[in-house]
A and B are shown apart, each in its own frame.
Chain A
Amino acid sequence: QVQLQESGPGLVKPSQTLSLTCTVSGGSISSGSYYWNWIRQPAGKGLEWIGRIYASGSTNYNPSLKSRVTISVDTSKNQFALKLSSVTAADTAVYYCTRRGEFWGQGTLVTVSS
């Protein structure tokens, strides 16, 4: 069974860069033609797709965030990562990593506040 776990700071200051890592266990991030997503959800609101990466390193981003987002993969560590720059309070949300839509991490709350 594939499992995903998000990790990273729970508090980020405005204008700084949010950095999260997703560690994959129970399967190789390189196997299959899967893509690996970051999705976020502000409190009490719906789901927003941030972007995805394939094991090859190919990426797609949400145009609304594209100028601030970088998703990368480290196959040697079986991890992929999210960086979101110039954060504001509007970026406060639970951030999820997923393998396609099948497997999800538990989510991690990131609060943007000084």
Chain B
Amino acid sequence: EIVLTQSPGTLSLSPGERATLSCRASQSVSSSYLAWYQQKPGQAPRLLIYGASSRATGIPDRFSGSGSGTDFTLTISRLEPEDFAVYYCQQYGSSPLTFGPGTKVDIK
């Protein structure tokens, strides 16, 4: 099973700032099958990035993903008020599919 570790656990930033979230895998993620999700309270997660770097439909270009192998990054170039949420990474290259524990981005 691939274990995903996310850092930091909490990121306190102000609107307009840049957010950099990290996801590290315990072993190489097959074919960069790494996704990022955003979740707000009381809502289902929303897919942001798949294939490590491809934006999902309707996702603003301030969200970008990068990385390969075991190290992946989600970057939000300029935080908007609606971006304060919890972010999860997920690998779907091998079964069992696994999620990281999440990074909470909150308002400083």
Contact = CB atoms under 8 A, between A and B. Distances in A.
Interface of A: 37, 46-49, 52, 60-64, 96, 100-102, 104-107
A86 to B, nearest CB: 20
Given A100-B92, A101-B92, A48 B47 contact: no
Contacts of A100: 92
A46 B102 contact: yes
Say whether chain B's binding surface is mostly helix, strand, loop, or mixed: loop
Interface of B: 1, 35, 37, 44-47, 50, 56-57, 88, 90, 92, 95-102
Contact of A101 (B50, B96, B98): B50
Contact of A62 (B92, B96, B102): B96
A102 B56 contact: yes
Nearest to B50: A101
Given A101-B35, A105-B44, A46 B99 contact: yes
Contact of A96 (B44, B57, B98): B44
From A47, A61, A62, A105, residue with most partner B Cβ within 10 Å: A47
